[in-house]
Structure 1
Amino acid sequence: MTCSPSLFRRAVGLALIVLAATATLLLGSPSTPRAHAAPTLTTVEPGVLTVGTEGTYAPFTYHENGTGPLTGFDVDIITDIAKKLGLRVKFVEANFDSLFPALEAGRFDLIANQISYSAERAAKYDLSDPYVQTASVIIARSDDTSIRSVDDLRGKTAAQSLTSNYAEIAKAAGAVIEPVDGFSTAIRLLDQGRVQATVNDELTAKNYLTSTGDTKVKIAATTPDVSRQVFAARKNSGLMPAINTEISALRDEGTLDKTYAKYFDATAKSPSSWDVVRSNLVPLLKSAITGTIPLTAISFVIGLAIALGVALARMSSRRIISGVAQIYISIIRGTPLLVQLFIIFYALPELNIVVSPFPAAIVAFSLNVGGYAAEIIRAAIESIPKGQWEAASTIGMNYTTTLRRIILPQAARTAVPPLSNTLISLVKDTSLASTILVTELFRQAQNASAASFDYLALYSTAAAYYLVICLVLSFGQSTLETRLRKYVAT
């Protein structure tokens, strides 16, 4: 039986149609979009979305009970977005005024901390689409009837974070701005009558009043400003198209509304001060052991090595060497430690020198100790009678051997008391490391107090830990002085 060409062509055409239909069923119609794949995004750490946040700004970003994991409205939203993008989220905590400098220094990819949209910020940073919109309110003392509108802020003192939109609202109204590091500090100053008002988000204010039952303050007025909350990234980061897509997806599927209800439609019972302290004793101790003490010990040992070298250079008969040492000492002693920290952590990245938080703190503290301790060591060495050098020389000892076996053991006893003071000051100065993203004892106390607003109890507990550490060091100083007495020439 023969097949005509036309019949053959029809059979082939039918087979191609069946094949195309089968492929369409298996692979999906070309006109039907597939579930979108996560775009390839350039982040600080591949596969990780590193997010900067305060961790002390309830209910947007805080630690539950002060000791639990990081939580909050902004934390949940950005975590959901990261999951949809196929990225693991990592949070880096810092004071609010440190967030934008750290973002520009490349410490994280974006900020999730109830950032309000403004034209100025949009010109400098990549801002996402708004994920929530809230009103701004003026919080004043309950017995203050002079503030009924934003115009009444003129001449009043308002506690504000300098880099926040709320500071701009208060400043534009004619208020005198008292800089603070966050809402918890602002509300504390207002409670104590040190300032007359603070401008902040309505949701934050209502959450504070509900969770604490504070009757000393009230929402005195609502400003005309409406805050649109966004995420912020470095300019031309390439992150925002993907993030905006996921914000829309969360809104469409109702996740935004559910998360909102979780944090703003529920009421919380404030625990007693004793419960707050008891639940934070171990976390505060852990922060002291893993943060404050290692930071102090490492920095002091490195600082002493620097100080000895600088002290010997300072005593050198060569003017260039002595002059360089003197310049180093002058710079360290002539600039605040906080400024030194900020230069190393926030400014050096502009020169492509990026140091992680803990090592950056060690570098700053070590250099600071080196500058101060160098003069202590120099004075101790020069207090040893020159006859000791001459006697060592007569028995054939060289400079290094004389220094190691004769001079330094005797100078050590003279140097121990002032060096101990330097060490004890360093223990307390480590609290400044919280400004460059290091979580140590004081930062942990801030986290806990931000969740409970129980400042007196928690800061007193942190102070007790610092006191215990310093008392142990003082005891060690006395013991060391006793042992070194045998090296004193009589």
Structure 2
Amino acid sequence: MVHNVRLLAARVVLAVVAVLLALAGPAGVARAAAPEPAHAAPAAAVPKVLRVGTEGVYPPFSYHAANGSLTGYDVELIQQIGKRLGVQVQFVQTPFDSIFAALESGRIDLVANEISPTPERQAKYDLSAPYISTTGVVVVGAGNKDIRSLADIKGKRAGQSLTSNWSQVAKKAGATIVPIQDMDKAMTALAQNRVQVVVNDELAVRNYLNTTGNKQVKIVSTTDDKTDSVFAARKGSGYMPQINAQIAAMRNDGALQQLYDKYFGSKAQQQEKQAGSRSSWQIVRDNLWPMLLATLRTTIPLTAISFVLGLAIALLIALMRRSTIAIVSWLARAYISIIRGTPLLVQLFIVFYGLPQLGLKFSPFGAAILALSLNVGGYAAEVIRSAIAAVPQGQWEAAETIGMDYRTTLRRVVLPQAARIAVPPLGNTLVSLVKDTSLTSVILVADLFQKAQNAAAPTFEYMGLYTAAAAYYWVICFVLNALQGRLEKRLNRYVVR
């Protein structure tokens, strides 16, 4: 049997080496055949399909309307520019703190999300001419009497997005930055006294106040500096001159002013107040069906595929972990240690944003499956290994005496018994995987949780929408727990007691 174990382990090693060589080969070819750097592109080379990264949760610049469509000042502006240039604009909804990572990894061609032209961004990216100017405002809780201007925020907790220029304004004024990704969430934290101040764009803040009628926060002052908003592309992209020409043309023919009036004029403020008059129940009810579709189309398939692939990885790693060949066992231990010792969120970012820099690029759904499968494999491997170890040694010996080889013994004798032992902990892994899929929204997967975020951003109805999302997750897990119970009863049917 020892000989068979070594033979199988050797085959596993050869298979792993073959897979690694296969991955390295295409990657090497991809790197060798990669196109010329972006700076080599001619000035007129505007992509026929311009992939534009935007948040989709930052009204009035980028958000989802009641019907689910992406809209906003920045969204409509780049759509009009694309129409004038004769190119198709394809939006890629991206969290703001990841938007420049998406740009650098080549997943988007342009950022349209009220980007300010800081010196750091000017050095690293191609920036367009300004298309709108605004100023910052200092926002505090309604009962706060200590902060009256930007000079008073020194030592105070400021709720800011880390990659926003307003975070730098608050930090320069001496505030302690509390990382909060979205402005609307920062306002909620401010109303709950979790932070003491928020510094943000005046137009966005006034839109928030007009829409919500929130009396728990107030604007106390504006900042001294004005800031412009620009588009950003990779350095040397070559197509900013054309975009700048269209911005100038829209300014001259009045189209830019018309767009401004649509989103920031008095009529826009009236529409915002009317939109904010919908009841919480109406908002939740209108979004139940889109959230259900996201569950059926994305969350459930993502869970099922990742779990099946993860189990296959886990079985391989568990067998490698039991190998008597030191290097094979060590590789399995290293894999398990890395997967269990790093956060799933970091693994998602590495697969989605890091691997493209090595020539390996996956779609959002594919990247999510890869990261989740590897994660499940790391955790489930120890479950399967312990379940195999729990099968009495006599079972192995009895199978060997009747002439079964290692693989036949494993397949027909050991694994069926180990499955009964492994089902409860693997069931817990599956339930955890369902909930972990919510993290994939940060790598552009349009899952259930992202739908809830999209709906909550312009309506600020967090409690109702997030509770509805939680209910969907709970129903899925409830069904899985019921199926797990039935499977356990079936596997225990022939157990001698």
TM-score, normalisation: structure 1: 0.90
Matches within 5 A, 1:73-472: 73-265=73-265, 266=268, 267=270, 268=272, 269=274, 270=276, 271-472=278-479
Cα RMSD after superposing both structures: 1.3
Q: Check whether the contact 2:43–2:239 (CA below 8 A) recurs between aligned residues.
A: no
Kindly tell me: are residues 42 and 253 of structure 1, through their superposed partners in 2, closer, same or farther at Cα, counting changes over 3 Å?
Answer: closer
Q: Secondary structure at the match of 2:331?
A: helix
- Quote the Cα distance in structure 2 between the aligned partners of 1:312 and 1:39: 56
Cα drift, residue 334 of structure 1:
0.8
Q: Check whether the contact 1:139–1:197 (CA below 8 A) recurs between aligned residues.
A: yes
Q: Which amino acid aligns with 1:204?
A: A
Cα drift, residue 352 of structure 1:
2.0
- Quote the Cα distance in structure 2 between the aligned partners of 1:408 and 1:244: 65
CA shift digits 1:263-293 (9 cap, x unpaired)? 1111222111001000000011111111111
- Quote the Cα distance in structure 2 between the aligned partners of 1:486 and 1:378: 23
Q: Check whether the contact 1:410–1:487 (CA below 8 A) recurs between aligned residues.
A: no
Q: Check whether the contact 1:94–1:435 (CA below 8 A) recurs between aligned residues.
A: yes
Partner of 1:61: 62
- Quote the Cα distance in structure 2 between the aligned partners of 1:188 and 1:95: 18
Kindly tell me: are residues 139 and 152 of structure 1, through their superposed partners in 2, closer, same or farther at Cα, counting changes over 3 Å?
Answer: same
Q: Which amino acid aligns with 2:399?
A: A
- Quote the Cα distance in structure 2 between the aligned partners of 1:483 and 1:402: 22
Q: Check whether the contact 1:291–1:439 (CA below 8 A) recurs between aligned residues.
A: yes
Cα drift, residue 40 of structure 1:
4.3
Kindly tell me: are residues 256 and 474 of structure 1, through their superposed partners in 2, closer, same or farther at Cα, counting changes over 3 Å?
Answer: same
Q: Which amino acid aligns with 1:85?
A: L
Q: Check whether the contact 1:409–1:487 (CA below 8 A) recurs between aligned residues.
A: no
Q: Check whether the contact 1:410–1:489 (CA below 8 A) recurs between aligned residues.
A: no
Cα drift, residue 329 of structure 1:
0.5
Q: Which amino acid aligns with 2:468?
A: T
- Quote the Cα distance in structure 2 between the aligned partners of 1:398 and 1:133: 75
Identity %: 58
Q: Secondary structure at the match of 1:486?
A: coil
Q: 4+ residue runs of structure 1 moved beyond 2 angstroms?
A: 486-490
Matches within 5 A, 1:25-36: none
Q: Secondary structure at the match of 2:133?
A: strand
Q: Which amino acid aligns with 1:174?
A: G
CA shift digits 1:209-256 (9 cap, x unpaired)? 111111001111100121100001111111210100010111111111
Q: Report the structure number with the largest CA radius of gyration.
A: 1
Cα drift, residue 323 of structure 1:
0.8
- Quote the Cα distance in structure 1 between the aligned partners of 2:360 and 2:247: 34
Q: Check whether the contact 1:117–1:228 (CA below 8 A) recurs between aligned residues.
A: yes
Kindly tell me: are residues 140 and 252 of structure 1, through their superposed partners in 2, closer, same or farther at Cα, counting changes over 3 Å?
Answer: same
Q: Secondary structure at the match of 1:162?
A: coil
CA shift digits 1:186-227 (9 cap, x unpaired)? 111112111011111101011111111110011111001211
Q: Secondary structure at the match of 1:402?
A: helix
